[in-house]
Structure formats: C-alpha cells, structure tokens
Chain A
Amino acid sequence: MSNSSSAWEKQVKEGLFQEERFTDDMKLTVLGAIERRPRRMAGLWPKLAETAAACLAALLLVVYWPSGSVDTARPQGAAAGAEKTLTFQPLEARILTKGQTIHGSDPDILPGLSNKYSPLRNTGYVEQIPLTDIELIDKKEIPGFGTTLRYTLVNNEDLPKSDKNGIIVYFGFVIEGLSEPDQLFHYGFGYLDGDDFSATRLFGQEALKIDRQLCRIDGEACVFYVKKDKGGVSTFAEFDAATYERDLDGDGREEAIVATHKQNQIYIFKEDQGDLQWASVRDALGAGAEDAVAYDELLGTFELHGREANGSGFTRTYRYGEDNRLVEVVK
C-alpha cells in the first residue's frame, strides 16, 4: 500500500466527521420523546390510572346512592349525558395531482394534521411493470385484496440515480383478474415488515389500508388507502396521522377518524362526491389546553380526559349520535 493511501486511510480511521456530535440537547429530546406513547393514547395512561379510580368511586356511588345524580359537575365541562355538536365544514385544500410536488414547508391543511394537500388523491393509476424487471425478496397475501410483493428493480435503464446502487426496496401488487399477464402494479418504496396491510372500507369504498406507524420524522403515522377498479390500482386517500374507519353516522359510508399526535387533535372526515367535510372532536368537546382527547377504535367512542377544579382527574366518554352530535355515555 502506498504512502498516500496510508495517509488517507489513517485520516479516515481517525474520523473525518468529528464535528458531527450527538449533543446533550439531542439526548434530552430522545428522553423527552419516550415519555410520550407513540400512538393515539399518547400521554394518557397516568391520567387514565387516576380517572379509573375516580370512575370506580362514581360507580360505587351509583350502586349505593338511593337516589339523585352523581354528576360531578365539572366547572367548565359538560354535564353527564350532555350532547356536543360536531360542526362539519368543507375542507379547503388543494388536491394533489400527478406531477405536483409536495413541499415540506407548505402549511398543514388543519392544525396538527401534517397533510399538505387534501387527503383525497387524484394521481391516477399505478403503473404496471413486467415481473421480469424485478428481483423478488418476499411476498405476502392480503386476504380480500391480492398479493403484495417486495422487490428490487433489475435491468431497468430508467432507474433513478439514487437507486443505481440497488439499495431501494419497492413494493407492488399482483391482483388476480386485474394485473395483466406477467405484470405487477409497481406501487412504491418501503419495507413491508413495518407496514400493516389490511382490507377495509373507507367512504363507502373497498380499499387496501397501508398503515405505517413509524413513518414521519414528526412522529406521525402515514396511512394510505388504495383502491382497485376496472382501470387498475390507485391511491385514493392518504392521511399523515393514525387513521381509523367507521360508519359513525350509520349512512353506510365509513368516515375517517384521524388522531394526530401533534396538538392531540381528532378529526372526522366525511366524503361526498369527491369533496371532504371535516369536524374537530377536540373543538366539539370543548377540550382545554390541558385536556386530552382519544378515540377508542374498538368501541368507536371518543374520550375526554381532564381534571376537575379540585385536581382530581376525570374521563368522559362520548358516542356518535344523531345529527352529528356526540352524546355522553353515562355508565
């Protein structure tokens, strides 16, 4: 080995990026982040523990109290059995179309929701490519949808420069009766391992839900809804936060319930002929800065966690009622 190569190797061994340090501030950011739970129940467990005790006490009162109400009469909150009106309004946001670019500096469409464009997509059908253009890594059956494939691209002169080193793993779909012979829908990037795939329905549409919990640097999830029709496969919605589907109002079309980590917002989206309407559960419940709202995906109910004037914690649960009202569930 020549002297010059020894020189550069010595420098590399000694470290070329000494200024790249993991500072105490950065460590504190990490330690602070682990205090928060990553999902929709973020930060609620200490409050839940307190409120569970309060609820138990309230239940005992209901059982043993001869008559009368156990309403604890929260000073600024709702009385037991109270109804709160959700105010739906049209979403004013641009629709992303093919060829447009999303800029990180664009404003969020709603407070706490990281989407920069309308969650509804109009970017057309996913391209199909020959199976001979891929090197398959693995595949996975998604009941009710098709087969997802994870692969790298080979023999493709159109590969982007960033993929010349073969580091990018893609995924796509083969859908019986829809994929052309020996072709696959070449969908996007990513490792299937970290994604949760499920067949679901949203806005009255059958869809494949791709739920990527560890997705965004800001800690939010990314949820994609992919539909298939005679034309092929296309993304028809994307939410940059944890998202659930449920027919809350019983009209036969599932709403999207979007729970953000940022600002602890819960939004309900309804779709009607390509337009979205939205309402904020947090606003409807009149949650204060110190209160937390949560969505129970199992029961389809909303929870408001807060503190009474005397410092004790409370939890109020609301179900979706008629005329877009949230009705408190009195246990």
Chain B
Amino acid sequence: MDSQVELQYLARKEAMDKTELHHLMTAYGDDVRRYAYAITKNREQAKDITQETFLKAYRSFGSFKGRSSLKTWLFSIARNAAINEMKSSYMRRIVLFEWVKPRGVGESAETAYLEEQSVREIREALMSLSMKLREVLLVSLEHGLTMPEIAELLNVSEGTVKSRLHRARQAMERKRKEMER
C-alpha cells in the first residue's frame, strides 16, 4: 500500500517512463486483474484487459490529472476495456452489428447457493450477483474505494452507490438464507 501512496506523485507528471510503469504495475497489477476478473468472470479476458489497461495508462498518462486516485483511474480504464471486450465478445457471438435476439444463457451461476461459509462458496454467491451489484460490493469491500470514488468510477451518484451496496448485501443475505433451508 505504501508504494501505491508513493506513486501518487505521478499525478504531477505529464508522462511516465518505463520504470514508473513497472512500479505502477507492481503496485496495482493484482488489483486491476482481480477487478477485471470480477467484471468479466473470465481469466483470459481479465489478463488481456489488465495488460491493455497499463498499456493505455502509459500511452495516455497525460489524461491523469490526479483528481482521482491512481487506483480509481486504472479501474476506470479497466472497466471501459472490460465492457468493450465483453461487448466485443458478445458481438462476435451474435454477428457483429446485427441486432439479433440472443438465445437464453445458462442460469447455473444463479443456482449456486451457499452451503457453507467457505471462500469458494462466498465466491460463487458473489459471482452469481449481477455485474452491477457484484462490482459495487467488490470495489467497496475488497478494494476499499470510497463512496465518491465508486460513484466516479461507475459514473453514478453516491446515492445510487449506497442503494446498490444495500441491494448487494441483501442479495448475499438472501443466498445465505436459501442455503440454510
């Protein structure tokens, strides 16, 4: 965490060199990859998105003005890349730029109940939430983003963030109760 704080000095720079990029990747690489994975639920995509995130961060570093934390800025790049990638995959699947009603997708994730409070099952429960709820829960709890940071990242109001967090917690609780039946 210290190295992450130290890297905030980059906010005053117009560009970064390769050493600084390496430091940035060391400080935030795991976080960005985990965040990308939480959004995409796909390891390979998460890996590609993380690499793309740092590549974009390096190439467009001048756009980082230090108004948000480096982590929030990187998450924001990763989020756009992830959404684009998911859309791209989706497009490829249903034929690019053709509006075709897709077939239903499997519901297996949503039938994963918490049988015991193990990491694996919490993880399954969490990953079965909608992206909207899953994402807000993870950036808040795992990544420790503040309400204003989450609001900026998701481009929604703080009230919406609070509401989503509340619903996400309720959904997790509901799954726990379903498990107890």
Contact = CB atoms under 8 A, between A and B. Distances in A.
Interface in A204-242: 214-217, 224, 235, 238
Interface string B137-181: 110011000000000000000000000000001001100100000
A16 interface: yes
Interface residues of B, number: 64
B22 interface: yes
B70 to A, nearest CB: 15
Interface stretch (A45-53, A56-64, A67-75, A94-102): A94-102
A96 to B, nearest CB: 8
Interface string B25-42: 110011011100110000
Contact of B122 (A16, A96, A216): A16
Given A17-B37, A22-B30, A27-B26, A161 B142 contact: no
A165 interface: yes
Contact of B91 (A15, A34, A98, A189): A189
B117 A16 contact: no
Interface in A36-55: 38
Contacts of B132: 165-167
A33 B55 CA distance: 8
B58 A34 contact: yes
12 contacts: A4-B117, A20-B33, A22-B50, A26-B47, A27-B22, A29-B51, A33-B55, A34-B55, A100-B95, A102-B92, A103-B92, A214-B56
Interface of A: 2, 4-5, 7-9, 11-17, 20-22, 26-27, 29-31, 33-34, 38, 96, 98-104, 123-124, 126-127, 158, 160-162, 164-168, 186-191, 214-217, 224, 235, 238
Interface of B: 18, 21-22, 25-26, 29-30, 32-34, 37-38, 43, 46-48, 50-52, 54-56, 58-59, 80, 83-88, 90-102, 104-105, 114, 117, 119, 122-123, 125-126, 130-132, 137-138, 141-142, 169, 172-173, 176
